[in-house]
Amino acid sequence: GENVEQHPSTLSVQEGDSAVIKCTYSDSASNYFPWYKQELGKGPQLIIDIRSNVGEKKDQRIAVTLNKTAKHFSLHITETQPEDSAVYFCAAIRETGANNLFFGTGTRLTVIP
Amino acid sequence: EAGVTQSPTHLIKTRGQQATLRCSPISGHTSVYWYQQALGLGLQFLLWYDEGEERNRGNFPPRFSGRQFPNYSSELNVNALELEDSALYLCASSKYSRGPGYTFGSGTRLTVV
């Protein structure tokens, strides 16, 4: 199965700075890469995703980049705000066939006001 | 549209007992996934049900089992509870059996004493 590694495990940034979280995957056939945000006491929520036919996707302050050759993808948050503080998970899946999402180990992001 | 609902929100059991956790997917979603999130750790895949059948199973012992009902709701059963089973159990549903489009519930916090 797929193996997804995520770094760093914890990240602290000053409000207004940028935050970058990186993930690598092992299955070259994986072609869908979502990112989830989990706030305290809640389930993970999808915040952005990217497919392997796209190199970059942006949604306001959040962007995701994908390097298929190197098998890694990253989440970029610009102009961070205190409400961005949460645990972020990356995931990967091969959309063909019967597969479930494989998640990274999570990054606890703290935005310091 | 109602989201994924899980019950109960909290559950306290004694070691050796059985626990039953329930999940109602979003209307129209046929796939249900169960994940275990131990404190401070990532999302470990447990089980995936689609159209009433078990489609995939994670690396967990057989005392973790479940089923999916004709209305696509699901329950997770954990027999012979051990202290290390204490965790947040998350259910997710998706419309398509190939994974993308997961929506998570808020989870059931199981504590084994």
How big is chain A by its Cα radius of gyration, in Å? Answer: 14
pLDDT tens by residue, A64-108: 999 999 999 999 999 999 999 999 999 998 877 666 788 999 999
Read off the pLDDT of each residue in A3-25 and give the average, rounded to a whole number.
97
Which chain B residue's Cα is nearest to A32?
B100
pLDDT at residue B99, as a whole number: 55
Say whether B33 and A106 touch across the interface (CB within 8 A). Answer: no
CA distance A52 to B57: 26
Residue from A36, A40, A53, A100 whose CB has the most chain B CBs within 10 Å, to mutate: A100
A103 has a chain B CB within 8 A of its CB: yes
Q: Is the pLDDT of residue B6 over 60?
A: yes
| Residue B57: closest CA among B48, B70, B66 | B48
Q: Is the pLDDT of residue B43 over 60?
A: yes
Contacts A41 to B, Cβ<8 Å? 106
pLDDT at residue A97, as a whole number: 63
Q: Please identify which residue in the block is written with the tokens 């290390």.
A: B84
What are the tokens at A11?
Answer: 């990240």
Residue of A43, A93, A106 with shortest CB distance to B99:
A93
Q: Let me know if B89 is exposed, middle or buried by CB neighbors in 10 A (0-12, 13-18, 19+).
A: buried
Biggest CA–CA distance in chain B, Å, is 38
Read off the pLDDT of each residue in A34-42 and give the average, rounded to a whole number.
93
pLDDT at residue B15, as a whole number: 98
Computed over every residue of chain B, the mean pLDDT equals 92
Q: Let me know if A18 is exposed, middle or buried by CB neighbors in 10 A (0-12, 13-18, 19+).
A: exposed
Residue from B5, B7, B24, B43 whose CB has the most chain A CBs within 10 Å, to mutate: B43
